[in-house]
């Protein structure tokens, strides 16, 4: 089983839609969780950290479910500019290593 798994998509949604992605992780000792955004042929950029209590940043909401070992990203009122690949990143407890998922591709259409 991969350490971090994501549905590759693509998720094709109309502008204004709400879309959610999940990411599962295998190491129950994982301690830090992040969502990164990567545009086509560009570098990954941090979108948001994921806190235990869940957190929101504008149209984006991230949640952590430790019991089921997954994190989620919810995007409300999708914009064309949200089209990108979203990478889930997990840090196992006690170490420096960050493990990246392969990403979920989102395409927002008119």
Partner 1 sequence: NAGVTQTPKFQVLKTGQSMTLQCAQDMNHEYMSWYRQDPGMGLRLIHYSVGAGITDQGEVPNGYNVSRSTTEDFPLRLLSAAPSQTSVYFCASRPSTGPATYEQYFGPGTRLTVT
Shortest approach of partner 1 to residue 32 CB, angstroms? 5
Interaction pattern, residues 70-109, with partner 1; x per rule: CB under 8 A = -----------------x---x----xxx-xxxx------
By CB under 8 A, the residues from 4 to 23 that bind partner 1 are 4, 8
Residue 53 token pair: 């209590």
Q: Are 101 and 6 in contact (CB under 8 A)?
A: yes
Please name the residues in contact with 22: beta carbons below 8 A apart, sequence gap of 6 or more: 6, 7, 70, 71, 72
Q: Are 100 and 89 in contact (CB under 8 A)?
A: yes
Shortest approach of partner 1 to residue 101 CB, angstroms? 6
User: Can you give the binding site for partner 1, defined by CB under 8 A?
Assistant: 4, 8, 32, 34, 42-46, 49, 87, 91, 96-98, 100-103
């Amino acid at each position: 089983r991969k350490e971090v798994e994501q549905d590759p998509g693509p998720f094709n949604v109309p502008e204004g839609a709400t879309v959610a992605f999940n990411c599962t992780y295998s190491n129950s000792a994982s301690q830090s969780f992040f969502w990164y955004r990567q545009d086509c042929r560009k570098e990954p950029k941090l979108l948001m950290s994921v806190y235990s209590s869940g957190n929101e940043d504008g149209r984006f909401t991230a949640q952590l479910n430790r019991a089921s070992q997954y994190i989620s990203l919810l995007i409300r009122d999708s914009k064309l500019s949200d089209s990108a690949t979203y990478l889930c990143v997990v840090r196992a407890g006690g170490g420096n290593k960050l493990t990246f998922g392969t990403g979920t591709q989102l395409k927002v259409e008119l």
